[in-house]
């Protein structure tokens, strides 16, 4: 009985020491805050390595991409954006219902919001179709190029952008794609 009591005492002291060591470790490590506030008037320029994706666009037919008010090339890139950023996952095995998963939702939602905003501006007559096509083409090029890169700072800047014009400016004027 004494041996088992002594053994339990030693084990409990060992467990207590291990948990306190873990707490000490968590206090000693630097906390990383993913919520970085970037002022909207910041002039930070983001440089991203990029590769041309023309070979992927050649395989997309007009019937597959559908139509787009900004042209067939934009329709193909928009289809490619949806194909790369979204995926369908079943809810449960055997259940036919699926859920759509979005990679980098901050970027994807910003691109879709920019598209909607540009279409609205063109419809009102505040922006020419050519200007909207150029801007949205640049936005799609950036979004397709940065899918696999570390974009935490860029996503924080997107989150801090308070309107669609600031997001368009971020994609078109503050991102440099370096083609390799």
Task: For residue range 141-155, list pLDDT tens digits in order.
Answer: 999 999 999 999 999
What is this structure's pTM? Answer: 0.73
Q: In whole angstroms, what separates CA 168 from the centre of its chain? A: 15
Handedness of CA 17, 19, 24, 29 (dihedral sign): positive
Mean model confidence pLDDT for the chain: 83
Instruction: Give the per-residue pLDDT at 36.
Output: 42
Share of the chain above pLDDT 90, in %: 61
Angle (CA) 40 45 48, round 5°: 125
Higher per-residue confidence, 17 vs 148: 148
- pLDDT above 90 (res 134): yes
Higher per-residue confidence, 44 vs 104: 104
Q: What is the pLDDT of residues 60-94, one digit of tens each?
A: 998 999 999 999 999 999 999 999 999 988 888 88
Q: What is the mean pLDDT of residues 154-159?
A: 94
Give Dmax (Cα) for the chain.
89
Instruction: Give the per-residue pLDDT at 110.
Output: 96
């Amino acid at each position: 009985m004494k041996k088992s009591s002594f053994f339990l005492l030693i084990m409990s002291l060992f467990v207590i020491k291990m948990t306190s060591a873990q707490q000490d470790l968590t206090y000693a490590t630097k906390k990383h805050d993913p919520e970085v506030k970037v002022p909207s008037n910041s002039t930070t320029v983001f440089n991203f390595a990029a590769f041309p994706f023309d070979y992927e666009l050649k395989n997309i037919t007009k019937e597959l991409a559908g139509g787009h008010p900004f042209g067939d090339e934009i329709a193909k890139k928009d289809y490619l954006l949806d194909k790369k950023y979204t995926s369908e996952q079943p809810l449960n095995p055997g259940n036919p219902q699926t859920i759509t998963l979005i990679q980098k939702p901050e970027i994807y939602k910003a691109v879709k919001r920019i598209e909607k905003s540009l279409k609205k501006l063109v419809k009102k007559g505040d922006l020419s179709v050519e200007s909207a096509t150029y801007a949205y083409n640049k936005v799609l090029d950036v979004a397709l190029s940065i899918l696999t890169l570390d974009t935490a700072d860029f996503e924080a800047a997107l989150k801090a952008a308070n309107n669609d014009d600031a997001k368009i400016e971020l994609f078109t004027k503050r991102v440099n794609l370096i083609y390799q």
